[in-house]
Each structure stands twice: as C-alpha cells, then as structure tokens.
Homo-oligomer: A and B are copies of this chain.
C-alpha cells in the first residue's frame, strides 16, 4: 500500500433489496470504518441505486470524476439481476469477458460437472480486471480502473476486505476524539460554533444527541488528521464543560 495525503472514496450500493427496505444495509458502516481506520481513506459519498444497467453506468461515470476510488457492493452473483460487472465494463467501454484465473478458481471450487452457466457468469469481468480473492465462497471480486467491486452479502464482503488493501493508496489517518456530555445540544451550540470556527480548517466537530442511563446527552466528536489540533479542541471543550458545569459521561 502506497502513501498519499488526502485520499477519498465513494460507495455505490447496488441492489433493489436495499431500496425496497427488505434488507437493512450493513456494508456502508463496515466499509467506511475499515477505510478510515486501516487505510486513512475517507468516504465522501454513498449512493444506493437499483439493479438497472443505465443507472449503474451513469453513477460510475459521475463518481469516478469526484473520487479516488469507488467501492461497489452487490450484483456480482450468478443470477439475472447481477449486472454490476457488465455495467462497469460498459461504463469504461471495455470488453466484458471471462477472467482466466477467476474461471479456474470457480471451476476448481465447484468441480467441472457442477460448473454451470450461472456459476461461470461469476468469472466474467471488465477486461484487464485484477482479482480480489474470496476466502469464504470462492467467487472473487475485482478491481478495474478505480472501481473495487465486492459482493453484497456482508459476511462474504467482510472476509474479502483485507484483500483490497494492496490495490489502494493510503491516505493520512483521520484521528477522532469523543466527549460524551450529560447536557442538551442547545445548551452548548453557540460556544461549539465558536470552537468549530476557530479550527475550521483543521478539525471537523460534530454533535450527536444520545439517550443513556435514563438521561439525555450529547456526543461531541472531533475529527482531524492532526493529533495536536485535536488536543487543542479538546482543551477548549473541557473549558466549556467547566464553565457550564456539565457532567461528563466516562465510558
């Protein structure tokens, strides 16, 4: 994994089952966390779209202009609604064809007699793709241009994610610090705004209400590539907490 300063990614969740509300997506949180913590890559946008070729192609073309990487999930299985690999080939105007190594992996996994057309389809990718090995169910994902295509089933995706690392440029790690306060947002919103303004170029401060132990609270989350700036923000926050006599929730 190479190293670079600012690296970002988009996630494209492809699947009618998420858009219909049938399935609760779990891949966004998993991938964003992994990219943040392990690769220093921040996710700038997520889109959930249906299994429609034109829609997939358009989204790939738009997102590739804005981000270093596009992670896709879903649509690389054996059935008629699995059209991700074909659509990516179309977006980049390259041939959609059998990947020799993927074909061998799958033929070996299923045995020649059970290697039917549906299973063979899982070896078809944009010409020139590199494989992302799949330790749990053999069918590989692929990397083509700046697109990283993974399956939609979370357990399988999770087992494959480490195999994406070698294809990624590493960014500066984003550190975060959380302060959990027993107060309400509007009690501190003005001062929080001042602190955010003071560090607006280096630290991103968010405030998120919570309910815990029967009490209302707010999590103040500061995020930055600079540990020192995070400490400065924390110092200002602690001052604010003392002035307002707010109780801190220790975890």
Give min CB distance, A32 to chain B, whole Å. Answer: 3
Q: Please give the number of chain A residues whose Cβ is less than 8 angstroms from any Cβ of chain B in the complex.
A: 67
Q: Which one of B36, B47, B185 lies within 8 Å of A77 (CB-CB)?
A: B185
- Find residues 28-73 in chain A having any chain B CB closer than 8 Å to their own CB: 28-36, 42-51, 55
Pair B49/A48 contact, Cβ less than 8 Å: no
In the bound complex, CA of A207 to CA of B121 (Å) = 15
Seen from chain A, the residues whose Cβ lies within 8 Å of a Cβ on chain B are 13, 15-26, 28-36, 42-51, 55, 77-81, 116-119, 121-122, 153, 155, 174, 176, 185-190, 192-193, 196-197, 204-209, 211, 221, 223
3 closest cross-chain pairs (CB), A and B: A118-B189, A21-B32, A21-B33
Q: Which one of B25, B47, B190, B207 lies within 8 Å of A45 (CB-CB)?
A: B47
Pair B208/A17 contact, Cβ less than 8 Å: yes
